[in-house]
Amino acid sequence: GDSVTQMEGPVTLSEEAFLTINCTYTATGYPSLFWYVQYPGEGLQLLLKATKADDKGSNKGFEATYRKETTSFHLEKGSVQVSDSAVYFCALGGGATNKLIFGTGTLLAVQP
């Protein structure tokens, strides 16, 4: 079935460092791909999405490109801030599935 695999955490970075969180997927059909973020004690909220191959989603300095050839949707940010500390989830939905499927989440801790 459809699935999402993302890199294990935690990821610990210093402020202004470059961030990459890897995400790969397996899917039948052509799902939309998402990154959701969960701040401590809160529910998930959408960070960015891409709906088809080669689309780039972006928001708040974060970017991810839908790569069909490598089945990937890696999250990047050029300069992280302490306020970016959170758990980041890669997800897929739509296409041939009625489900919204999440990866295991990656904890990001940014130190001043």
Partner 1 sequence: NAGVTQTPKFRILKIGQSMTLQCAQDMNHNYMYWYRQDPGMGLKLIYYSVGAGITDKGEVPNGYNVSRSTTEDFPLRLELAAPSQTSVYFCASSDTSPGARAFFGQGTRLTVV
Give the separation between CA 15 and CA 110, rounded to whole angstroms: 6
Give the separation between CA 13 and CA 5, rounded to whole angstroms: 21
Which residues contact partner 1 (rule: CB under 8 A)? 31-32, 34, 36, 42-46, 49, 51, 89, 93-95, 97-105
Contact criterion met (CB below 8 Å) for 21 and 50: no
From the CB of 99, what's the least distance to partner 1, in Å? 6
- Residue nearer to partner 1 on the CB measure, 81 or 96: 96
From the CB of 101, what's the least distance to partner 1, in Å? 7
From the CB of 98, what's the least distance to partner 1, in Å? 5
- Residue nearer to partner 1 on the CB measure, 33 or 80: 33
Contact criterion met (CB below 8 Å) for 38 and 89: yes
Task: Count the Cβ atoms, other than its own, within 10 Å of residue 99.
Answer: 12
Query: Quick check: helix, strand or coil at residue 83?
Result: helix
- Residue nearer to partner 1 on the CB measure, 36 or 62: 36
- Residue nearer to partner 1 on the CB measure, 6 or 84: 6
